[in-house]
Amino acid sequence: MRRRASLVLLALAVCCAAMAPTLRWYAFPRLAKIPPNQYQETVLEARPATLLNYSTLKAEKVEKITIIQTLKGNVEESKRIERDAGRDVVVWDALAYVTGPDGKMVSKIPERYIFDAHTQDPVNATGETVDGDPVRREGIEFKWPFLTEKRDYQYFDAQTRTSAPIHYKGTQTFRGLEVYYFEQTVPWTKVPMPKAMPVKGITPQVLADSGLTRWYTTKRMFWVEPVTGAPVNGEEIHREELRNAKALMGQDTITVFEGHVKMRGDYVDSIVEMVGSNRLMVMMLVSYMPWSLTVLALALLALAFWLEARSRRPAAPPAGSPPPGPVTAPV
Amino acid sequence: MRALVAVAIGLAPVLLFVLLVSLVDLPPDGPTSPKPLLTADPGPKK
């Protein structure tokens, strides 16, 4: 009976011992994925901000500007690209829509971002665009990989259409979560005019023909929850200028936009809540379950050996039998 | 011999799990969201 129990325990111990690494190194990369049909909106605000008034052609202080950023997973496109890529791919159609204090459009930049569903590495495929221009991304955008490391990452900048390192600057606590703080400064760089302008009749071509050039600099800050790789907060100190504007606007340099853009509080709360539940699922796969199974496997193995050892001991004499008599030497 | 059989029995559910993960698309893909890309502040997040 003991022998059978020890064999059952041995089978259970083997099962637990084999399942622990399977969960961590086989199941985790296949199960922890960004769903291809994700839909997420985020609202960011700059209060106050400086904005170019296109009717007076002067930069004015305004109460606020709002950036509405939407990410929408395109399932049909991801399936199409997966057929060639041979791995799980996510296609995000994104729109950064900027409105002034009156709610009217200031600028809008559509993007298509294609990336690996688990590693978040960019997948360079046809259709990868920023504001209608084909791009070839290197590095991450919007989200960090699962199990983010304390190191610099290449981060894609949609304005300059280039990637540059975003630096790990330390670990902080944000709303009870341990987060990694990343920072990137994009120096003044000449960038393309947006395709959609806020005033009818003014097109990027009209501005380009007048000799105007658009320049941009930003300091980008992200607080990233390292288990899920999700930014739980983001800020940008953003400046845009039109240069070579003397002929058209009376002065050489005009500020188009200047402001400290921050994620709005209600969206920070929502993201922190979402990240909290996703974090638990990832931790179950990479830490809680593998370690619990390892400890359980060792305990079961020890119990199996103990039962096996006991079953091999010689049987004790039955209770109530007379004790052996004194031994006398034969005469 | 009995110990080897016990080890094989212990490995069987793990192999089944590996097979399940490799064959079944987990988590399942849903359809593309019908919601549009926003061009106005959707208001406070609930």
3-class SS letters over chain A: CHHHHHHHHHHHHHHHHHHHHHHHHHHHHHHCCCCCCCEEEEEEEEEEEEEEECCCCEEEEECCEEEEEEEEECHHHHHHHHHHHCCCEEEEEEEEEEECCCCCEEEEEEEEEEEECCCCCECCCCCCEECCEECCCCCECCCCCCCCCCCCEEEEECCCCEEEEEEEEEEEEECCEEEEEEEEEEEEEEECCCCCCCCCCCCHHHHHHCCCEEEEEEEEEEEEECCCCEEEEEEEEEEEEEECCHHHHCCCCEEEEEEEEEECHHHHHHHHHHHHHHHHHHHHHHHHHHHHHHHHHHHHHHHHHHHHHHHHCCCCCCCCCCCCCCCCCCC
Is A295 among the domain residues? yes
Regarding whether A9 and A68 lie in a shared domain, the answer is: no
Q: Does residue A319 fall inside a structural domain?
A: no
Q: How far is CA A207 from the centre of its chain?
A: 37
Which pLDDT value is given to residue A58?
A: 86
Residue A130 lies in a domain: yes
Q: Output the pLDDT for position A319.
A: 61
The answer to whether residues A235 and A300 belong to one domain is: no
pLDDT, residue A205, reads 81
Q: Are residues A6 and A88 in the same domain?
A: no
The pLDDT, as a whole number, for residue A159 is 95
In this structure, which amino acid lies at residue A120? Q
Q: Does A35 reach chain B within 8 Å, measured CB to CB?
A: yes
Q: Domain check: are A37 and A126 in the same one?
A: yes
A7 contacts B3? CB cut-off 8 A: yes
| pLDDT of A211 | 87
Q: What is the pLDDT of residue A20?
A: 97
pLDDT at A322: 59
Cβ contact, residue pair A75, B29, below 8 Å: yes
Q: Examine the pLDDT at B28 and tell me if it is beyond 80.
A: no
Asked if A217 and A299 sit in the same domain, the reply is no
Q: Is residue A128 assigned to a domain?
A: yes
A276 in any annotated domain = no
A6 and A105 part of one domain: no
> CB-CB: which of B2, B13, B27 is closest to A7?
B2
Which residue is closest to A10 within chain B, CA to CA? B6
The residue of chain B with its CA nearest to that of A28 is B21
Task: Tell me which of A263, A294, A326 is where a domain ends.
Answer: A263
Identify the DSSP state of B30: -
Task: Answer whether residue A206 is part of any domain.
Answer: yes
Residue A326 is predicted with a pLDDT of 60
Domain of residue A14, residue span: 2-21+285-311
* Judgement on whether residues A12 and A86 belong to the same structural domain of the protein: no
Same domain, A162 and A296: no
Res A310: pLDDT:
87
A96 to chain B, closest Cα gap in Å: 9
Q: Decide if A37 is inside a domain.
A: yes
Residues A124 and A237 in one domain: yes
Question: Tens place of pLDDT for every residue, chain A, 331 residues?
Answer: 678 899 999 999 999 999 999 999 999 999 999 999 999 999 999 999 999 987 788 899 999 999 999 999 999 999 999 988 888 999 999 999 999 998 999 999 999 999 999 999 999 998 999 999 999 999 999 999 999 999 999 999 999 999 999 999 999 999 999 999 999 999 999 999 999 888 877 788 887 788 889 999 999 999 999 999 999 999 999 999 999 887 777 788 999 999 999 999 999 999 999 999 999 999 999 999 999 999 999 999 999 999 988 888 776 666 665 555 565 656 5
Give me the number of domains chain A comprises: 2
| A76 and A196 share one domain | yes
In a shared domain, residues A163 and A244: yes
| A9 and A75 together in one domain | no
CB pairs under 8 A between A and B: 107
Q: Would residue A104 count as lying in a domain?
A: yes
Closest CA of chain B from A108, distance in Å:
9
Average pLDDT estimate for B14-28: 86
* B10 interaction partners in chain A (CB closer than 8 Å): 10-15, 18
Q: Using CB atoms and an 8 Å cut-off, which of residues 152-181 of chain A contact chain B?
A: none
